Amino acid sequence: MVIEHSSRGERAYDIFSRLLKERIVCINGPIDDDTSHVVVAQLLFLESENPSKPIHMYLNSPGGQVTAEKYCDGQELVSGFMCKYMVMLSSLQEQLKGTILLFANPEVYAVICGIGLPVVESSLAIYDTMQYIRSPVTTICLGQAASMASLLLAAGAKGERKALPNATIMIHQPSGGYSGQAKDMTIHTKQIVRVWDALNQLYCKHTGQPLDVIQKNMDRDYFMTPEEAKEFGIIDDVIDQRPMTLVTDAVDDEGKQKDSS
């Protein structure tokens, strides 16, 4: 809780609302639908206030949550059914880097382990809004920016993507799953491959790396220090202090608000 004093009395803010007044947006923890809704609304609001003034996005996120079990054995329940058979399909394994698990059930259910579409779509809603608004978005990583959070970090305005010295950046193929009848597998497989290809292209766009390099490094968890992330093209600079321009802007804004009150 932050309490401000003015000639009109006292006003209490929660800390994130107070930071929003300084055009600071925070993404903390896993990215899900709730996080996405709030961040998208904050970005649109700040743009409506001043389209030419930068927005500062602070990231400390492991990315999205896994949406399905990724393995099982003969004694485990996955999606409510006893796993009896594991079928490895080489063509899908090549594209999805996952497996298909079949279950002993009259309707034959299956789980594709590869990309968690709900998680990806929540993150891409934030990504698309960052590109859509006119306000430049500065991205700063503190703690970690992993999985889809690393894409948001890379999607900041060129020259304005930063990380603190002890941050960790990690890229990998998104994980999650889909469950349903086996006849739906083809439909969802095509969608998963489409999204996977789109993500590779987005990383290529923002890092400047060729597609084969992106695919190779995202095949498994690929951890980077800030300096390594800078060399890879995800960030532009490593900082250990808040830029003085941001401090000056915050002080100026506070002074204007006090004068108006």
Give catalytic residues, as residue numbers.
Answer: 147, 172
- 220 φ, ψ (degrees, to nearest 5): -135, 170
Output the CA–CA distances (angstroms, integers) from residue 123 to 35, 117, 177, in the order listed: 9, 10, 16
CA-CA-CA-CA torsion sign (5, 7, 12, 14): negative
CA-CA-CA-CA torsion sign (206, 212, 215, 217): negative
What gap in Å lies between CA 70 and CA 133, rounded to an integer?
Answer: 37
> What tokens were used for 240?
């250990």
Say if CB 229 and CB 154 are below 8 A apart.
no
Say if CB 173 and CB 100 are below 8 A apart.
no
What is the SS3 string spanning 97-142? CCCEEEECCCCCEEEEECCCHHHHHHHHHHHHHHHHCCCCEEEEEE
Smallest CA-to-CA distance from 43 within 133, 119, 151 is with 133
Query: For the CA atoms of the chain, what is the radius of gyration?
Result: 22
